[in-house]
Every structure is written in structure tokens, then in C-alpha cells.
Amino acid sequence: MGNRDWKERLASVFEDLRIIENSKEETVRDFEQFCEFIAEPAFETLAEELKHYGIRSRLRKSREKEIEFEMSFPHSRKAKFRYILILPQNSLELRLRLRLRARKKKGDAFEESEIPFMENLRPSEILKLSKEDIINDFIEKYRDINFKFFTKLD
């Protein structure tokens, strides 16, 4: 190995680090776009519809890399179900996680699970989702958790 080999390898390491940092920044920007143009409009539409059922809801972007939609029990302020989309720390692509928190009755502790968000979707397809895709996923998860709660043997 000559003098030039190690210098090229060193330059390559710094170039790789620059590419990683740029990818992370781009992924955060993509997540912000996803929230602003897809998730937030979906949750706002869902919130309007839930009012017809006497259900309060709220939308929260609690951190730069997390957006949460919470719905209450009917005619109550107590949270029943939380649908939280998360961009994992140091993500190099838009591969989101979904955290679900739910409880059957107001006094119960929340049950929590975390799963891949739309697991069969490639990261490049996330920004192509419609607000209806998000609403349908929310409804599916809410239906599943209620089915589990009301069919589980104690």
C-alpha cells in the first residue's frame, strides 16, 4: 500500500460520512412533508368525522420525528386510542414505525405495541400515500384493537 492508498481511503471515509448525514437530513425533511401534506390532513378529516360520534380527538407533533393522533372515549376527555407515527432515530430512509396505545375502559392502563408502519410499503412510496390511505390504516388498527378487547377471554 502506497502513500496515496491511505489518503484515498481516508477521503472515502469522510465522503461516506457526508452522504450519511445528507441522507439523514433528507429523511427528516421527507417526514416533515409526509406529516404536513398527508398525515395532518388525514387526521384533521378524521377528527371532523369523529365529532359525529361524540368523540374528541387531537393531533400532536410531540417531537420533530413523531406525530400522534389521539381519540377519546365517546363523550369524554379521557384518551382511548393513540396512533403514533415515528421516524426512528438516525433513519437513512423513510421507514416509519407505528406505536399503538389503547385501553378498553377509562380506568384501565394503556396497552402498547409498536409495529412497522405499512410494512409492505417501500420507503419511496410513503410520500405517495393519500390521506385516505392513512385514515383506512387508522380505522383498521382501531377495529383490530377493539375486536381484541371485546373478544378476549378474561
Q: What is the pLDDT of residues 105-136, one digit of tens each?
A: 998 999 999 999 998 999 889 999 999 999 99
Q: How confident is the model at residue 75 (pLDDT cuts 50, 70, 90)?
A: confident
| Per-residue pLDDT at 14 exceeds 70 | yes
Average pLDDT, the chain: 91
pLDDT of amino acid 22:
83
DSSP states of 95-108: --EEEEEE-SSTTS
Element holding 44 (H helix, E strand): helix 40-51
pLDDT of amino acid 17:
86
